[in-house]
Amino acid sequence: MNVLVINGSPRKTGRTRMAASFIAKKHNGLLFDLSTRELPLFNGEEEQNELEDIKELKKMVSESDSVILLSPEYHNAMSGALKNALDFLSSEHFSHKPVGLIAIAGGGKGGINALNNMRTVMRGVYANAIAKQLILDPHCFDYDKKEIKEDPALLVDQLVEELEIYTEALKKISKN
């Protein structure tokens, strides 16, 4: 499965980036890291489509079999950086594509709103956000190793396995 992992945090040292990097490495996925990219504020103007980071984002999403979106929860929603990146994309890139959703919570405030927010946007671009979703709290991380701890990593593996089931089913349907 050709999975694209999108780090939806603008922070270079945050848990979201840590989780996205860990997942991409463990599951042989590609990583599009918003903390290292130069995406302008989406304005709908055609010249933005010529920017290298925008062209690469569109290409990577289009060519992937599935996508995993990760976002911190900021003020009861996904990060502005992730929403901005998604605004450059459309059903042309996401139609019927299986998408896994992971929120990185600050602890005590949930993460469910970020998941719901991402799910709503995925519905708007005709993606298939899978039912299994995940919230990773601060205690889920090994900060020294810069990775997800063993038990939460098993939950991530289960999400990736479900994403793969949907991806393979879509491939079979598409062949017919």
Distance CA 7, CA 30 (A): 11
Beta-carbon-side half-sphere exposure of residue 108 (alpha carbons within 13 Å): 0
Distance CA 2, CA 84 (A): 24
pLDDT at 110: 84
pLDDT at 143: 96
| Cβ contact 14:28 at 8 Å | no
Give the CA distances from residue 153 to residues 20, 45, 65, 141, in Å, rounded to whole numbers and listed in that order. 12, 40, 22, 9
Helix (H) or strand (E) holding 61: helix 52-63
Distance CA 59, CA 69 (A): 16
pLDDT at 49: 96
Distance CA 143, CA 64 (A): 30
pLDDT at 108: 67
pLDDT at 150: 97
| Cβ contact 104:141 at 8 Å | no
**What is the chain's pLDDT, residue by residue, as a tens digit (176 residues)?**
999 999 999 999 999 999 999 999 999 999 999 999 999 999 999 999 999 999 999 999 999 999 999 999 999 999 999 999 999 999 999 999 999 999 999 866 689 999 999 999 999 999 999 999 999 999 999 999 999 999 999 999 999 999 999 999 999 998 87
Distance CA 19, CA 148 (A): 6
Phi, psi of 133 (to 5 degrees): -140, 170
